[in-house]
Structure formats: structure tokens, C-alpha cells
Homo-oligomer: A and B are copies of this chain.
Amino acid sequence: MYEVQQLRINYKTLEEFKQFKQYGLQELSMLEELNAQISENEIHSPFYGIYIGNRLVARMSLYRQSKKHDHYFKPHQPYLEVWKLEVLQEFQSKGLGTRLIEYAKSFNLPIKTNPRVHSNQFWTKMGFVPAAYDLERDLGENPMLWCPEGVSTSK
């Protein structure tokens, strides 16, 4: 069973992040923080990942939103936002993505994600359902939602 762990943000991790397609402003901002002399491993990071040997091969970001920001679930409550779920190509089809999402589900909070194009099949398999599109809330997003027992989507 692959172990999911919260990632320590240091130069090694940030270098490994460059292997992932969804590298962006978030990673650049952490690099700036490190360069500004914040000690390694002390940056607050929402990243979780799976190592095989010494190598980071899968990752996701996981962030707890407050009840105040919930426009997706009924009753309104805190929920988890997942983004940048990605498995390096040569490590795909081993269940690593599934393992990360099972980890996210283990908090027993509802989950919202905005999947990349062409990944809907994966999210459906994981029990996520498309949100009822709301222009003002969703704009360019295609939200997919997962509800633990006793929770439903807000419309």
C-alpha cells in the first residue's frame, strides 16, 4: 500500500515539482519564500504526495475551506478543495491517483475539485458528480463534487 504524506517544502521538493505538468504560480511563490531565507521545510504547504523510493511520483493539493465559503453542499459546512492531482506518466495505472483521493476522503468532509479536461472518467469512478452549473459561482470551472454520508449537493 502506497503511503500518502504531507510534503516538506524544500529545494529538493520544489525541483521535483517541475516534473509535474501543473507547475505554476503556487510553486514559484514557494520558491520565492525559500529564496527569501525562510527555513527549509517550514513553509505551510497544502501538498500531499506519494514517494516510490526517494522519488516523488504523485501529488495533490488539499485545502480545507471554511463553512462560510461553501456554496456547494447541503447543509453548508467546511469542505476540502483538491487541485493539482497528478501522477507522473510512467507511474500511472498503479492506483496512485485513487490512493490520493481515498486519503482525501478519509477526512470525511465533502470534496470539491475542478478537474482538468479529459479526466472526468477518473472522478466519476471515484464517486464524484458534476455540480449543477451556476454562472456566477463557477465561471470557467467544471466542478465535480463528492459527498460523505448525510451530505448532498446544494442544488
Contact = CB atoms under 8 A, between A and B. Distances in A.
Interface of A: 21-22, 24-26, 28-29, 44, 46, 61, 63, 81, 83-84, 114, 117, 130-133, 135-136, 138-143
Given A24-B142, A46-B135, A83-B140, 20 more contacts: A21-B117, A22-B140, A24-B140, A25-B130, A25-B131, A25-B133, A25-B141, A25-B142, A25-B143, A26-B133, A26-B135, A26-B138, A26-B140, A26-B142, A28-B133, A29-B132, A29-B133, A44-B135, A63-B135, A63-B136
Contacts of A26: 133, 135, 138, 140, 142
Contacts of A46: 135
